[in-house]
Amino acid sequence: MLAIVKFWHPNQLATMTKLLAILACCYSSIGFSTTNNEFNNFFNSFESLSANFKQHTLSEPGALIGTTYGSVLLKRPKQLLWHTKTPSEQILSLNNNELWIVDTELEQASLQKIDNLNQTPLYYLINRPSDINTTPRFSHQQNKINWYKTNEANNLSFGFKDSSLYVISVDNELGQKILLSLSSVRLNPTIDSKEFTLKINPEFDIIR
C-alpha cells in the first residue's frame, strides 16, 4: 500500500502557522479575561453576605498549628461581624468607622484604628472592586481553585471555586499562613443593622 503524503508549500505553512498562533492567542485571551473577571463579578454581586468559616493556622514549614470555627456577616458599606466561636470566642466588629476586637476569654475589648485596612482581607470584603486602587489579579489554578493575588507583602490571595469565594490565604506577622475556608455562603440575605451593634460586657477591660 502506498502512503500518500501531502507536502505544504513554505508560504502556505507560514500562513497556517500564523493563523494557528492568532487563534491560540484569541482563545487564551478569552479564557484569561473570563477568569480574571471572576473576582470582580463576585464582589459586585451582593450588598450583604453571610457564611460560616473554618480557619487553619499553619507554621512556615506547613504544619497545622490550630483550627478555629465561626461565622461572618457583612452588609455594605461598612458593617461586618466576624464571630469566632470555637475553640474560644472572639468577635471582630466593624460598624461604620468603629472597629472593635472582643476577646471573651480575656474579658477584653479594644478599639482599633481603621485607616490602614488595605493589607487585610477586610478591606477587600467591604469595598467594591471599583473602590479598590488595585484589584487582585488571576495568579494560577490549583485543585480546581482559581487564585487571585494582591500586591500586598503578606501574600494576601483569594481562592474561587465555581465562581464563588471559597478560601482566603494570608501570611501574618509571625510568618504563619492563615487559610480561611468559607461554607454555606449566602449572597444578599436580609440582615438587620442591629446585628452589628456590639454589646460589650461592662466588666470587660476597654482599650481605646
Q: Tens of pLDDT along 146-161? A: 999 999 889 999 999 9
CB 103 within 8 A of CB 22: no
Q: With CA atoms as reference, report the closest residue to 80 among 98, 104, 107.
A: 98
CB 205 within 8 A of CB 109: yes
Q: Compute the mean pLDDT over every residue in the chain, rounded to the nearest whole number.
A: 83
pTM over cut 0.95:
no
For residue 161, CA distances in Å to 183, 189, 198 come to 11, 21, 33
Q: Above 80 in pLDDT, residue 140?
A: yes
Residue 67 phi/psi, 5-degree rounding, is -135, 135
Cα atoms found within 13 Å of the Cα of residue 80, Cβ hemisphere only: 22
Percent of the chain with pLDDT over 90: 63
**Taken in order 200, 70, 193, 130, is the CA torsion positive or negative?**
positive
Compute and round to an integer the Cα radius of gyration of the chain. Answer: 23
Amino acid letter, 124: Y
Whole-number pLDDT of residue 96: 85
Reading the block at residue 47, the C-alpha cell is 450588598
Q: With CA atoms as reference, report the closest residue to 82 among 205, 178, 177.
A: 178
Whole-number pLDDT of residue 36: 54
Region of poorest pLDDT, from 64-73, 106-115, 136-145 = 106-115
Whole-number Å distance between alpha carbons of 67 and 82: 15
How does residue 145 score in pLDDT terms, banded at 50, 70 and 90?
very high
Q: Where are the alpha helices (DSSP H) in 101-160?
A: 121-126
Which pLDDT tens digit goes with each residue over 89-116?
999 999 988 899 999 999 999 998 776 6
